[in-house]
A and B are shown apart, each in its own frame.
Chain A
Amino acid sequence: MSDYLPAELIVEILIRVPAKIVPRCKCVCKRWNSLISNPHFATTYLAHSKQRPYHLFRRLDQETGEELFTLHPSDNPDNPFPRNYHLKNLNRSDPALHINLLRLAQEVKDKGGFFGCSSDYIKLHCPYKTRYYQYFHQIVGSVNGLICMVDSYSIDDNYYLWNPSINRSMQLPRPKYHDQSRSNSFFGFGYHAPTDDYKLVRLVYLNNCNSPVVDIYTLNTGGWCSAKAQPSAQYIIDSFGSVVVNGAIHWLAHTPEDAHHNLIVSFDLGNEGNEVVFHEVPVPKILEGAPPLSMMNIAVLNGLLTLHGGQPEKYVDRGGRDDRLVKEHAVWVMKEYNVVKSWTKLYVIDVGENFVRVVGFKKNGELLITMDDDKDKGLLLYAPNSRRGRPYTDLYISGLSRSFYLDNYVESLVLWKKNTEK
């Protein structure tokens, strides 16, 4: 074969080989070794795998305390967790259809739900366990096949990078210790194209200071450096997570009390040196004033900045009690980056008071959500603007609701050549 096909076609074949088999191909012959060792190969590989994306899902099994990661193909807009996956083989002309539907639903539940009945996923083996049983990692983000996780259940955090497609991982060194006895850390993880580098950014708020210390880890140097933000960068971060859009990490925040307004704070991944700069991106005008958007979260939908969750009612003075009244749960999308007028409310999430959060968005427009009530329903499917009787469907996926995590994922060869652990 090697003599028969020109190099470019051997490459066309090799970029379609699953990532974990690529290293094996290096051992086949010198020609393949040289093609794969070429620095352009990893780039070409990634460009192709971006056309075959996956979803990454994480749940904590409450019975075993295990953190379970799975990859789900993304080719069908109904993925992951298609509605009625368990009805695939149903005979629609069956006169006893309705009775059989109920029976099937029970069978599915008994067999362990989606993960017991479907084979449309790949099990991953996470090389790291959290230091406390029944706790799960904070997944900062995933880009180009690299997942960044933090185990923060101890005095010192543990930071990890993991590429499940080639099963390579590494624990990062710890950053300089700041006196952070009573402070919070916020994280972001992204890829900086100009330097072909991956960066983990940590914001640390020391006591009584609203301008954070910024620690930046870069994969190319393998180390951390600390920087101070500009003095005017006084922000209180509200979103638990962060997203990367236009080469910058974004968090939802508000400015301190006197000048209170809600906003999105952005940190360009190109920031380096001792002084770093934050920029501001506006939230929808109607959400700008008090109270803080602590019931909302930030996401990316089709490359657009997205805000979702409980929109607060204005503060209601109930004799000193600060009630967190939620006006409605909605999903907003910023159609043009940094243009406040382009914020568009896509829809309202109408499932009643027990709504907790959006876990993820499916390409077909449906949402994966969790609710909070007596029976822990697990992961639910919600169809916005649906005219169905009951707006959400049980997916029979069990686990600790707080642990559900969904993100996009692509196979890659990143971390292959790093001096890593297995």
Chain B
Amino acid sequence: MASSSTSVVVSNKEKENKNTKKVTLKSSDGESFEVDESVAMESQTIKHIIEDGCANNEIPLPNVTSGILSRVIEYCKKHKEAAGESEPSVTSYTSNSTTNPLTEWDTEFVKVDQNTLFDLILAANYLDIKGLLDLTCKTVADMMKGKTPQEIRETFHIKNDYTPEEEAEVRKENQWAFE
């Protein structure tokens, strides 16, 4: 690659940054986050607000705290970047069988405490970010593998509201699932 072509690429990128529209998202606890509009539009909810012309440069998100919002923005930024850079996947001798290059990053992203995980699910649902909803729900679903109902209750702090008789009944109906 000739150095002249590299410098052309750099200056185009600089131009891009100057022209990028920004939008401000405001969390429930009053903190403001300035992000690229294209990143914010990873959220279908925000996308509709902007497209309906109701943005006024600051979008209040009363259902999302600053802690969660900053994580959500991190997710959207990373996934937007990856979408921009993606090349058609080439099957090489050393490629993995999964085609998602962000699998490792996503796995690290959801290594959070349970409350944060559930808050991320609620935020992903409210903001309508399909990839994040899928990732977070799948993470919770995976936590149930190999666990008995009691272990599932303990993991998620769920109260057992069955009477012993009721529980025996349900278990009997589904006994084959425990073998």
Contact = CB atoms under 8 A, between A and B. Distances in A.
Interface in B61-78: none
Contacts of A22: 177
Contacts of B109: none
Contacts of A18: 145
A20 B118 contact: no
Interface stretch (B8-16, B33-41, B46-54, B167-175): B167-175
Contact of B125 (A9, A14, A78, A89): A9
A74 B179 CA distance: 27
B162 A76 contact: no
B105 interface: no
A1 B94 contact: no
A321 B133 CA distance: 67
Interface string B153-165: 1001111111000
A240 to B, nearest CB: 32
Counting contact residues on chain A (CB < 8 A from B), the size range is 35 or more
A36 to B, nearest CB: 10
Contact of B118 (A1, A16, A83): A1
Contacts of A120: 97
Interface in A8-67: 8-9, 12-14, 16-18, 20-31, 33
Contacts of B82: none
B171 A82 contact: no
B98 interface: yes
B159 A14 contact: no
A2 interface: yes
Interface string A201-227: 000000000000000000000000000
A182 interface: no
A75 B98 contact: yes
Which of A1, A22, A33, A84 counts the most chain B CB atoms within 10 A?
A1
Interface string A75-90: 1101100111001111
B91 A27 contact: no
Given A24-B149, A168-B176, A422-B176, A78 B91 contact: yes
Given A1-B158, A27-B149, A83-B91, A76 B141 contact: no
Contacts of B114: 1
Contact of B174 (A23, A75, A79, A82): A23
A87 B93 contact: yes
A30 B141 contact: no
Interface in A61-110: 73, 75-76, 78-79, 82-84, 87-90, 92
A24 B94 contact: no
A23 B174 CA distance: 6
A4 interface: yes
Contact of B137 (A16, A79, A92): A16
A8 B126 CA distance: 12
A78 B96 CA distance: 11
Contact of A78 (B97, B118, B141, B161): B97
B102 interface: no
Contacts of B160: 28-29
Given A12-B137, A92-B94, A21 B144 contact: yes
Contact of B153 (A5, A28, A83): A28
A28 B122 contact: no
A90 B141 contact: no
A17 B161 contact: no
Given A17-B141, A27-B170, A88 B93 contact: yes
Given A20-B177, A27-B170, A92 B97 contact: no
Nearest to B171: A27
Interface of A: 1-2, 4-5, 8-9, 12-14, 16-18, 20-31, 33, 73, 75-76, 78-79, 82-84, 87-90, 92, 120, 166-168, 364, 422
Given A1-B157, A76-B97, A90-B93, 16 more contacts: A5-B118, A9-B121, A9-B137, A16-B137, A16-B138, A16-B140, A16-B141, A20-B177, A21-B145, A23-B174, A27-B170, A29-B159, A75-B98, A76-B98, A83-B91, A92-B93
11 contacts: A9-B137, A13-B141, A24-B178, A25-B144, A27-B171, A29-B153, A30-B162, A75-B98, A83-B91, A120-B97, A166-B177
